[in-house]
Structure 1
Amino acid sequence: MIRQTRRLFAAACLATLAACADQTPVSQQPVEPLGEFQLVHNIVTVNNIQKVEPSRNIDPEDWDNAVTEAIQARLGRYQGSQLYHLGVNILGYSVAVPGIPLVLAPKSVVVVEATVWDNHAGGKINQKPKQFTVFESVSPDLFIGSGLTKTKDEQVANLAANIALQIEDWLRENEEWFAKRPDTEVPTE
């Protein structure tokens, strides 16, 4: 009886986790204005990136490309009238290696810092970089471990998308940074 209850509980947890994971591509998600924000430059640096064991080995250029693309996909959608730049420094990562399902299921994590620059003012908006600790998305793989179920490219893409999402959430929390200035004209292409 207890075993059957545990199995039902585990199945219910997996179903709940699967339902929680939003699989809608960024390009199909609605865009709510973020003040007058428009991303101009999206600069990712990987100069001092550290791998924390146990981890799959990821080429720094792969991190650079994945995070740059994810940020562009998420934040490049905003078409406000004021121009901003984003600098992201990837500090360290641990991308899950294959483990033993239900016993040892390592999780992927990456630590980054972000700084927003105001093009008009010519300087940083946040003087101290904002640090983020970003984990892989919640999914049924959580109990098995993404090291067994995903390629390292899929793991990095998942982490990159979550970096972009956390940065977007942080920008929303500070939407006053992007309030319309009286002297702002709408940029033309």
Structure 2
Amino acid sequence: MRVWTALIGLAVLTACGGIRDDITQDPDPIGSFRLGHNIAVVNEPVQGPFSRTVDDAAWQAAMVKAVDDRLGNARFFGDKYFHIGVAVEGYVLGYPGVPLVYSPKSVLIFSVNFFEDSTQTKLNDEAIQLTVFEPCCTVPLIGSGFTRSAEEQMEGLAFNAARAIERTMRENAHWFGGTPEVLAEDATIRTGNVLRDNPELVAPDQQQPATN
């Protein structure tokens, strides 16, 4: 059993390598974007099945930090301020399951809105709803609960949420006075609410193991 667990850990760590991008690098600008208000609202989000539980304040802190780390004034130096508002709507933080029997994936569902400071104008017509998986652990039927704490899972999801926000901004760069980009698809980022629309992506063909 110890050997099996070690092999799982090695596989997960291998799958995690190289998927997160490096936010220490200077990014290309997004038009004249400079971050103004960075707001995260978390009000009793839906907790998916078989998930670890964390409080709203922890999610709020994780999201604000991730957005500031990626999109804050240490990285983007445009001459116009824009505000980003995020609402955390649901999550699953997969706990350690039984490999090949039950091992839920971790996901975060949120919506985002963008506002121009000088005109107080909302730039997107409707809130943009996104689902992100952790930027790691692509081994089938093995969730990150084997190797990561709830705090580490939250950090990874918030990191990927901020990355999804940046991708949305680049694809709609005209909102910020820039040129829209066409980006390759990313399997860890999906539009909509995967818990509602495609729940098997969180726990495909698995059953919760019996407990004593």
- Normalising by the residue count of structure 2, what TM-score does the alignment of the two structures yield? 0.72
Cα distance, 1:99 vs. partner?
0.4
Checking the alignment, whether the CA contact within 8 Å between 2:105 and 2:133 is kept in structure 1 is yes
> Identical aligned pairs, as a percentage?
37
Checking the alignment, whether the CA contact within 8 Å between 1:21 and 1:139 is kept in structure 2 is no
Cα distance between partner residues in 2 of 1:14 and 1:179: 41
The counterpart of 1:120, out of the listed 97, 118, 121, is 118
Checking the alignment, whether the CA contact within 8 Å between 2:20 and 2:136 is kept in structure 1 is no
Cα distance between partner residues in 2 of 1:99 and 1:168: 33
Cα distance between partner residues in 2 of 1:19 and 1:52: 27
In structure 1, stretches of 5+ residues that fail to align are 1-9, 181-189
Aligned residues: 167
Cα distance between partner residues in 1 of 2:42 and 2:121: 22
Cα distance, 1:66 vs. partner?
0.4
Cα distance between partner residues in 1 of 2:137 and 2:86: 26
In structure 2, stretches of 5+ residues that fail to align are 1-7, 179-212
- CA RMSD in angstroms comes to 2.2
Aligned to 2:89: 91
Cα distance between partner residues in 1 of 2:70 and 2:60: 16
Checking the alignment, whether the CA contact within 8 Å between 1:141 and 1:149 is kept in structure 2 is no
Cα distance between partner residues in 1 of 2:91 and 2:12: 26
1:6-56 per-residue CA deviation (whole Å, 9 max, x = no partner) reads xxxx9xx879734542363x2x12311111000010000002411112100
1:87-111 per-residue CA deviation (whole Å, 9 max, x = no partner) reads 0000011110110123322100111
Aligned to 2:69: 73
The counterpart of 1:111, out of the listed 94, 97, 109, is 109
Q: Which amino acid aligns with 2:15?
A: L
The structure richer in helix per residue is: 1
